């Protein structure tokens, strides 16, 4: 396995000086755990690797969990707390990977007790999930603390949904300091994983209350989806792949959008706008450009509303506050 050791350079202060924005908290540091928990990356990578080896869907689940954490009142590990956000509609019966974070955190508590926050564990686990499935590697600054509260209402209001129009999704990204490019790039995370048929079926059988399929769907793709997700209630929990290589991080997602074969309505909507559509076409042709931009957007997202210093907590158990 390629060794990505991080250089012991104190580059965070320079980074903050040059690129001070609302998304960069200068108390985060690339060497934050180098002395206090030098085995952090090794422990997290092994935990994620084992999880993916047992269940290939877990890479997508960990990435989604990180996204859902950061989009609700910032990256603070609140999605990991029992109750609250776990009960919100976007997470209920669909958010996965909590037990993986618990296992990794347990191993970290043995190696360096009371040191690594659950938020940093989830942030790093998401990167490892992408990297171990063939995606890009990006450097992460650490020092996030864990939040003390979790809100079902906030999750229902702040998380973008698969049925929302592109304008709504773009506004929700903008509220977090993310721009239109970030919308297109981070949507590319749907190169991994599956969606439940209950989310997909309105496009297949009753698009916008028309009683007909979404006319933007490719005909052969529609037929395939209707076979996977038949128009019966018991099929709601069936799984449809988000792209044709759902266990590998690649740019196939964008190629499918160009061919009118995006699984989710919110994904295919990227092709309905000239600006986002041109980005999709670009990423469909140049995978390494997508990889580079994905890492940059993930770093931006991982800086949303972080808690640092003496604020918040470093939970011993990610499911409950200390």
Q: Was 160 annotated as part of a binding site?
A: yes
- Helical segments of 98-235, H only: 98-111, 118-132, 152-158, 166-175, 180-187, 197-205, 219-228
Query: Does 68 qualify as catalytic in the annotation?
Result: yes
Q: Was 4 annotated as part of a binding site?
A: no
Q: Was 250 annotated as part of a binding site?
A: yes
Pairing relationship of beta strands 194-196 and 239-241 according to DSSP bridges: antiparallel
Q: Was 190 annotated as part of a binding site?
A: yes
Q: Which of 4, 10, 66, 68 is catalytic?
A: 68
Q: Was 293 annotated as part of a binding site?
A: no
Q: Was 167 annotated as part of a binding site?
A: no
Q: Was 213 annotated as part of a binding site?
A: no
Which long-range contacts does 39-43 make (Cβ < 8 Å, 24+ apart)? 39/111, 39/112, 40/108, 40/112, 40/116, 40/124, 41/4, 41/6, 41/124, 41/128, 43/104, 43/107, 43/108, 43/111
85 CB burial (10 A radius; 0-12, 13-18, 19+): buried
- The Cα 142–Cα 121 span in angstroms is 10
Q: Under DSSP, is residue 195 helix (H, G, I), strand (E, B) or coil?
A: strand
Q: Was 191 annotated as part of a binding site?
A: yes
Q: Was 152 annotated as part of a binding site?
A: no
From the annotation, which residues make up the binding site? Answer: 69, 72, 74, 76, 78, 85, 160, 190-191, 243, 250
From the annotation, which residues make up the binding site for substrate? Answer: 160
From the annotation, which residues make up the binding site for Ca(2+)? Answer: 69, 72, 74, 76, 78, 85, 191, 243, 250
From the annotation, which residues make up the binding site for heme b? Answer: 190
Q: Point out the residues that are catalytic.
A: 68
């Amino acid at each position: 396995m390629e060794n990505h050791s991080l250089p012991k350079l104190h580059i965070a202060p320079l980074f903050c000086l040059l690129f001070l924005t609302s998304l960069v908290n200068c108390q985060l540091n690339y060497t934050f755990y180098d002395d206090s928990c030098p085995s952090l990356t090794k422990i997290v990578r092994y935990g994620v690797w084992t999880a993916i080896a047992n269940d290939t869907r877990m890479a997508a689940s960990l990435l989604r969990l990180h996204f859902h954490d950061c989009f609700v009142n910032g990256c603070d590990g609140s999605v990991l707390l029992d109750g609250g956000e776990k009960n919100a509609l976007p997470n209920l019966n669909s958010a996965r990977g909590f037990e993986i974070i618990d296992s990794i955190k347990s191993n970290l508590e043995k190696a360096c007790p009371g040191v690594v926050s659950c938020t940093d564990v989830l942030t790093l686990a998401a990167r490892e999930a992408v990297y171990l499935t063939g995606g890009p590697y990006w450097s992460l600054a650490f020092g996030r603390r864990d939040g003390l509260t979790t809100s079902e209402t906030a999750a229902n209001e702040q998380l973008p949904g698969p049925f929302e129009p592109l304008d709504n999704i773009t506004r929700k990204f903008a509220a977090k300091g993310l721009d239109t490019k970030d919308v297109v790039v981070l949507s590319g995370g749907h190169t991994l994983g599956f969606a439940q048929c209950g989310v997909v079926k309105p496009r297949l059988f009753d698009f916008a209350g028309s009683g007909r399929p979404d006319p933007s769907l490719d005909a052969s793709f529609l037929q395939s989806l209707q076979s996977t997700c038949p128009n019966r209630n018991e099929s709601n929990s069936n799984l449809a792949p988000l792209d044709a290589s759902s266990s590998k991080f690649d740019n196939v997602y964008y190629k499918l959008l160009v061919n009118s074969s995006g699984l989710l309505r919110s994904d295919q909507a990227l092709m309905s706008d000239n600006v986002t559509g041109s980005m999709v076409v670009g990423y469909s042709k140049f995978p390494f450009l997508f990889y580079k931009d994905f890492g940059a957007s993930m770093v931006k997202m991982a800086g949303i509303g972080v808690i640092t210093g003496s604020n918040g907590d470093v939970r011993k158990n990610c499911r409950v506050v200390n």
